[in-house]
Homo-oligomer: A and B are copies of this chain.
Amino acid sequence: MTTDTHDISTQIQLVSRPIGWPTAEDFRTVQIALGPLQPGEIRVRNEFVSVDPYMRGRMNDARSYVAPYELGETILGGAVGRVVASAAADVPVGAAVLHQRGWADVVQGDAATFRVVPDLPGVPLSLRLHILGMTGLTAYAGLTRIAAMQPGDTVFVSGAAGSVGTAVGQIARLLGAGRVVGSAGTPEKVALLTEKYGFDAAFNYRDGEVSALLAAAAPDGIDVFFDNVGGDHLGAALDAFRDGGRAALCGAISSYNASEPVPGPANLANIITRALRLEGFTIGQHLDLAPEFQGRMAEWMAAGKIVFDETIVDGIEHTVDAFLDMLRGANTGKMLVRVGA
């Protein structure tokens, strides 16, 4: 066989569960010879592979809505590619497909486990992994269903320069938020938030006590908190909440790599005295919102109302580096691995 048949798959697997920050030694790269397609199967060459914060959680052996990764198995996650061989009548070669087979350059399996997505004019395939995909849906579900955002609300987004955060800020504005405030970890990201993403105010959470920084950025308090960071950000939000405030807890990237348990904020009693609601969510429980979201997002994009950033790393062999860089905050917007030729 030749490489043109894409019958060798390079895949990245978890070999040990990281304690604290993951290292390259927690992973291995394997090459797997793909067998002939069985009836109903397709072979897909990935174009983009996603690296996401939630994957760090799956590397632990902890109970969660999403099962832990198995040791010695390929890291599962979002990816988008094109069909290079098909034994499924309804999925032609060349079709774009979205799937959850993760960190690999070529994958194959039952066509029913892939979702064919239309090629939209002017819409790169990579957007299916963020603003038009789970990232955008996460922002939308968190704001509308979990936090029950109302027009006029002041919305605070932590980790706002990430792919979910930039979507949250823009969607909040489009849904009528009165004020949108974000935090990020570098001056460049903070500038992007107000200059590119339309946030009313933004701050660098490394500049001081988050609670004081938030109080300055949202002097009249906040109604909604969309949390991607956890830790000090939650305590700051609890200080800033107006009565009846709602938090959509989406991520806690600040604690994912902690090797010791990190105590929670000391002001949890505000939940009672201000009648606050904190709700965690994982997007898998809210996929029923996808049609509604995709309809609205397609309209917003067509009207030129949505901007986004991608940080692209080339080469499947650099996936672990991309993942670690993302955990450290090196990306602006969505961090993606482009599989390459």
Q: Which A residues form the contact surface with B (CB < 8 A)?
A: 57, 62-66, 230, 234, 243, 249-252, 255, 261-282, 285
Give A227 to B249 CA distance when docked, in angstroms: 20
B261 x A264 contact (CB < 8 A):
no
11 example contacts (A-B, Cβ-Cβ < 8 A) are as follows A65-B243, A249-B271, A252-B272, A263-B266, A272-B280, A273-B280, A273-B282, A274-B280, A277-B277, A277-B279, A278-B279
A268 x B264 contact (CB < 8 A):
yes
- In the complex, which of the residues B272, B274, B280 contacts A63, with contact meaning CB atoms closer than 8 Å? B274
Give A281 to B230 CA distance when docked, in angstroms: 23
Closest to A256 in B: B269
Task: Label chain A's interface by main secondary structure.
Answer: loop
| A273 and B234 in contact, given A264-B264, A268-B264 (Cβ under 8 angstroms) | no
Give A267 to B260 CA distance when docked, in angstroms: 11
When distances are taken between beta carbons in the complex, the residues of chain B under 8 Å from A65 are: 243, 273-275
B282 x A269 contact (CB < 8 A):
no
A252 x B274 contact (CB < 8 A):
no
CB distance from A30 to the nearest CB of B (A): 29
B285 x A275 contact (CB < 8 A):
yes
When distances are taken between beta carbons in the complex, the residues of chain B under 8 Å from A243 are: 65
Give A275 to B251 CA distance when docked, in angstroms: 11
- In the complex, which of the residues B249, B272, B285 contacts A281, with contact meaning CB atoms closer than 8 Å? B272
CB distance from A103 to the nearest CB of B (A): 21
B266 x A275 contact (CB < 8 A):
no
B280 x A230 contact (CB < 8 A):
no
When distances are taken between beta carbons in the complex, the residues of chain B under 8 Å from A255 are: 269
Give A64 to B272 CA distance when docked, in angstroms: 9
Closest to A238 in B: B264
CB distance from A256 to the nearest CB of B (A): 8
When distances are taken between beta carbons in the complex, the residues of chain B under 8 Å from A276 are: 279-280
When distances are taken between beta carbons in the complex, the residues of chain B under 8 Å from A272 are: 249-252, 280-282
